[in-house]
Amino acid sequence: MKSLIQLTEMIESASTITVLTGAGVSTASGIPDFRSANGLWSEDRSREYYMSNRYFSEDPVDFWKKYKEIFRIKLLKDFEPNPVHYFLRDLEKLEKRIYVITQNVDGLHKAAFSSDIIEYHGSLDTATCPSCGTSMTLERILAEETPRCFRDECRVIVRPDVVLFGDPITKHGQAEVCVQSSELLLTMGTSLQVSPFNLLPEYAVYDVHIPTAIINREETVMDSLFDCKVFGDLSETVQLLNHKLF
């Protein structure tokens, strides 16, 4: 496959790579893709309303009930990193600096021990008290139907450390800094439908002027931005890349 050979050469020639990852990276771990054509978000648009900062403010008790229902699969933490996560970690063994900027909130890049991770949309692993700032672990979150700050003098309902609909994105500038210092932007497993995350490939092309590549199961509306495009199963693709790179 010509595109796979081209991608291999691009990875080999870059000492610093920024990798953008989306839900497609985690599907091989058994976690559904919420935004693909057949993803869970297409089944019930009301989830965007319930997973908003507005709804948390209006009814935090029911918010937590629906939050745990919607993310029940991820919150069970029964999933492990798959070959795609480990491929990105193993690229570091080639003495490359790999920045992983992920839309995923499942924590699997951390579980695979990648060194530099920006969880662009936050993480399911923790929650924070909006009153006193106390952090709560996932174990405590799961222990209560409606998680509250464990400080006796507080007991305020905590807020999950994920970016809810209506929240500002706070890590975009940090992500741009990673792109600025890179020699390649590699996008994996994302439909690039969510803004401002989908502005990062444009930033790489028009502002930083670095090569770009995408690996995805299906075409995206932003494919024209990429110098190299590989379409197909991500796990199969990284297996082929492993044979060529290691």
Mean pLDDT by 10 residues, the chain (246 residues): 92 98 91 56 69 96 90 75 97 97 95 97 95 94 94 95 96 98 98 96 98 96 97 95 94
Counting the structural domains of the chain, the total is 2
- What pLDDT is attached to residue 80? 92
- Candidates 121, 172, 209, 243; catalytic one: 121
Instruction: Tell whether residue 132 is among the known ligand binding residues.
Output: yes
- What pLDDT is attached to residue 37? 44
Task: Give the CA angle between residues 95, 103, 205 to the nearest 5°.
Answer: 65
Last residue of a domain, one of 106, 134, 162: 162
- The CATH number that applies at residue 110 is 3.40.50.1220
- The CATH number that applies at residue 41 is 3.30.1600.10
Q: What is the pTM of this model?
A: 0.91
Is 121 a known active-site residue?
A: yes
The CB density around residue 163, as the number of other CB atoms within 10 Å, is 20
Together in a domain, 111 and 232? yes
- Cα distances (angstroms) measured from residue 210 to each of 190, 201, 202, 225, 228: 20, 10, 10, 11, 12
Together in a domain, 158 and 173? no
Together in a domain, 23 and 69? no
- What pLDDT is attached to residue 41? 52
Together in a domain, 214 and 139? no
Nearest to 20 by CA among 112, 109, 111, 113: 109
Together in a domain, 18 and 111? yes
Nearest to 74 by CA among 104, 38, 112, 36: 104
Together in a domain, 139 and 111? no
Instruction: Tell whether residue 149 is among the known ligand binding residues.
Output: yes
